[in-house]
Structure formats: C-alpha cells, structure tokens
Amino acid sequence: MSRKVLKINRLKIYGMCGIVGLLYRKKNSEFGSIIIDMMQRLQHRGKDGAGVAIYGGLELSKDEYVLKVEVGEFNKRDVIEDILHKKCNIEEIRLIREGKDFVIFDFKIKVPDFKKLKSLLFEIQSLKDISVLSAGRFEMIKDVGTVSFVDSIYSISRKSGTHGIGHMRFSTESGVDRYHAHPFQSFIYPDVTVVHNGQITNYWKVRNVLEAKGHTFTTDNDTECIVHYIADKLLADYKLEEALESAVRRLDGPFSFIISTRNAIGVAKDKLGLRPALVSEDGEVFAVASEEVAIEPLGLNPEYLNPGEVRVFER
C-alpha cells in the first residue's frame, strides 16, 4: 500500500505525460523515426495514448489540404464524399485504419482558401457518427496505446518532415480514446497544434470566453482549451511568442506545453514552474522535451526553462 502511495505522490510532483518537439531548418527524410525515438524514451510518462503532428512532409500545392476523417460505418464514406464533391475537388482517398466499428480515411482535397476549408470542416463535424480528426497542410496522427503500437499502425517512423510535436499520455482527466489523445488542433486558425503536460485549472472560465467568440470544442480535455486560446491570439495578429506569453499570464495551473505552426515551434512553462520543460538548439536543430533522455541522441546541450518562460524557434 505504501509503495502505491509513494508512486502517486511522485507522479503528482513530477508531472504526468511526456511531450517532445523537434524542428529542422531543412526537410529531414528521417524525421519520423527521430521523433518516435524521442517519444519512446519518454514512454514511462504515459501509455494511455500517443500522437504526433508532423509538418513539411506532405507534397501539396498551395490550395491542397488533407482531411483525416473517422466514420462510424464504412458506407458513411459516401456521405462525406457527397459533401466534399459539392464543396471542393477530391484528389485522393486513402483508407488509413479499419476497426470493429469505425473506419479512418485521408481525403486529399483542393479548395480555394482556408476560409472555405473551415466552413467545410464545421459542416462535416455536425454530422452524426462522423468526426474530423485533423485537417490542414500537415499530418496529425493520434490513438490509444503505446508509442510503438501507434507507430506500428500508422508508420510514423517512415515519415519525413521539417518539424513537429509528440505526446505520450497519462490520463488524469477526460476519456481515454483517440479524440482525447494529443495533439489537439483548432480549426479557427490554419495548422496550429499543441501537446501538453499538466492541468489548466481555470479551464471552464477560459473556454466560456472562447466559445462566446465562436470557437467550437469537440472534447472536454483541458489541452483543447490551450490550442484554441493560442489560435485566437494568432487570429488577432499576435506573434507566436506574444501569444505564448499571454497564455502564461491567462492560464492557471501546473503546465508546460509545446505549440507548432506551419513555420515554428514554441514552448511555454507555467508561472510557478511546476511542470518540466527543457530546450536544446544549435542553429539548425531545435528540440524540446520533458526530460533530457529524450534529446540525448541529438547531441545537444539541454537548458531547463525558468518558471513562466517561453521560447520560440522559427524555420
């Protein structure tokens, strides 16, 4: 009994979940295998779920986007296709995963601009038993289970990219399923994702304000509140560093989180410094992690963030 109590206390002090971020100046053909290795080194921080958002690996023209959509039944693919055909051009359809009561597809589509895409996403999200898992000019993959299990299904380690973020989940609130796994995305602003370790204790207060502005929440996970908050600031023409600084002031609780956009990665730590986060960089590579062990193979010298500190690295 005493061992169990000590373990729980240790987790509460040190923090649950593991987070990583990685950015290269140039596209790296081994990006997927490198970020998976970083994540596996932090597997002890949580086995409830794993996920990544990888940027710069897809070959897309400026008006092409990828939608990852889950449907409750295989034949509901026709419902989505009907909607897409009316609103855009479907260039490719790929079956990603088929389970007992669900199917996941990737749709490569062409739309004039992000405004049109956003309207399309909200229409699909309103349908019963159909969910948009991610959408944009990047690739987001997340599911329940260990890093190795998720990688074995989605072949993350074979993907190339320029930058991205990863997460290993130890659930302390909300459901254990692929919707509540990290990363989280906001459809209000293009291609912004977040991974998070900690708790946002004024979650409902912040969420109510964002919903009044038109943000749509799809889960009750407090991490989703962070990505909507940052997206809201970026939409108001904040620079990424300014948005992170605002989040540190506005959000309460113990947290560290990593945010990714099309061209940058940022990291923020709570005002009291209650959740770990360290960074390393050499001008060509920027890495972020919860623990040093995740970035040891990169050969970079780690630096722990101070309480309330933020960092941004741009390509």
Q: Give the domains, in start order, of the chain with CATH numbers.
A: 16-58+140-314 (3.60.20.10), 60-136 (3.30.70.260)
Task: Give the residue, 2 or 176, on which the prediction is more confident.
Answer: 176
> Residue 13 pLDDT more than 70?
no
Measured CA to CA, the distance from residue 264 to residue 315 in angstroms comes to 6
Q: Which of 135, 139, 141, 140 is nearest to 189 (CA)?
A: 135
Query: What is the model's pTM?
Result: 0.92
The DSSP code for 182 is: S
Mean pLDDT throughout 249-260?
97
pLDDT tens per residue across span 15-47? 578 999 999 999 999 999 999 999 999 999 988
Return the higher-pLDDT residue of 9 and 55. Answer: 55
d(CA 77, CA 60): 23
Q: How confident is the model at residue 6 (pLDDT cuts 50, 70, 90)?
A: very low
Element (H, E) at 186: none
What is the side-by-side order of every strand in the sheet holding 89-98? 89-98, 103-110, 64-71, 130-136
Q: Choose between 305 and 179: higher pLDDT.
A: 305
Residue 4: pLDDT band with limits 50, 70, 90: very low
Predicted pLDDT of residue 1: 35
CA nearest to 48, candidates 195, 177, 225:
177
- Report the relative pairing of strands 138-144 and 18-28 from DSSP bridges: unpaired
Who wins on pLDDT, 124 or 161?
161
> Can you name the residues that pair with 22 across neighbouring β-strands?
164, 287
Helical segments of the chain, H only: 2-14, 31-40, 77-87, 114-125, 147-154, 203-212, 222-235, 240-250
pLDDT at position 15 is: 52
Whether the per-residue pLDDT at 12 is higher than 80: the answer is no
pLDDT of residue 75: 72
Whole-angstrom Cα distance, residue 20 to residue 40? 10
- Give yes or no for residue 11 having a pLDDT over 50: no
Query: pLDDT tens digit string along 95-154?
Result: 999 988 899 999 999 998 888 898 899 888 888 888 899 999 999 999 999 999 999 999
pLDDT band at 78 (very low <50, low <70, confident <90, very high): confident
- Two tokens at 99? 């389970």
Helix (H, G, I), strand (E, B) or coil at 81: helix
Could you tell me the pLDDT band of residue 9, with boundaries at 50, 70 and 90?
A: very low
- How far apart CA 253 and CA 76 sit, in angstroms, is 41
Which residue numbers are catalytic?
17
Q: At what angle do helices 77-87 and 114-125 cross, to 10 degrees?
A: 150
Q: Which two tokens stand for residue 103?
A: 């199917």
What confidence score (pLDDT) does residue 16 get?
79
